[in-house]
Amino acid sequence: MTTTKCKVGSCTTFPPPVLYEQRLCLEHYLADIHDRTHAFARQLSNQETTKELEAAIVQFVVLTAAKIAVIGTQNPPQDQLLRGKLLNAMLLLADLRERAERNEKQEETR
């Protein structure tokens, strides 16, 4: 177990092992996923989908989904609300990926 607490403000929660590198507790990690997912979605709606944006979204979705899968299978939270937030994060990632693919297909037809 790390002796470093979550890096967000006055949070006193220790990160789970899979999040040591990010230095985020699960609650703040999920909030970060939410924020980043919505930021990517805004970029998709405000500009044409570039190859760079598509690559960044794919990388974010794949790496984040893998990390969520590890958390959910190796060290699932006891709290039902956090389990629900894990599932919601996966759905947000799937929706973001679908939006990116839809944008790319629309631009191909233009």
Q: What is the pTM of this model?
A: 0.88
Question: Is position 7 within any domain?
Answer: no
What's residue 2's pLDDT? 54
Question: Is position 85 within any domain?
Answer: yes
Question: Is position 1 within any domain?
Answer: no
CA distance 18 to 8: 17
3-state helix, strand, coil in the chain (%, to 5): 70, 0, 30
What's residue 31's pLDDT? 97
- Which residue segment(s) compose the domain that 37 sits in? 25-108
Q: What is the pLDDT along the chain (110 residues), one digit of tens a residue?
A: 557 899 999 999 999 999 999 999 999 999 999 999 999 999 998 877 788 999 999 999 999 999 999 999 998 999 999 999 999 999 999 999 999 988 877 777 66
Question: Is position 64 within any domain?
Answer: yes
CA distance 34 to 93: 9
Cα 47–chain centre separation: 21
Q: What is the total count of domains within the chain?
A: 1
Question: Is position 14 within any domain?
Answer: no
Question: Is position 12 within any domain?
Answer: no
Residue 88, CA distances (Å) to 25, 68, 98 in order: 17, 11, 15
What's residue 42's pLDDT? 93
Residue 50, CA distances (Å) to 8, 60, 85, 105 in order: 32, 15, 30, 12
What's residue 103's pLDDT? 84
Question: Is position 20 within any domain?
Answer: no
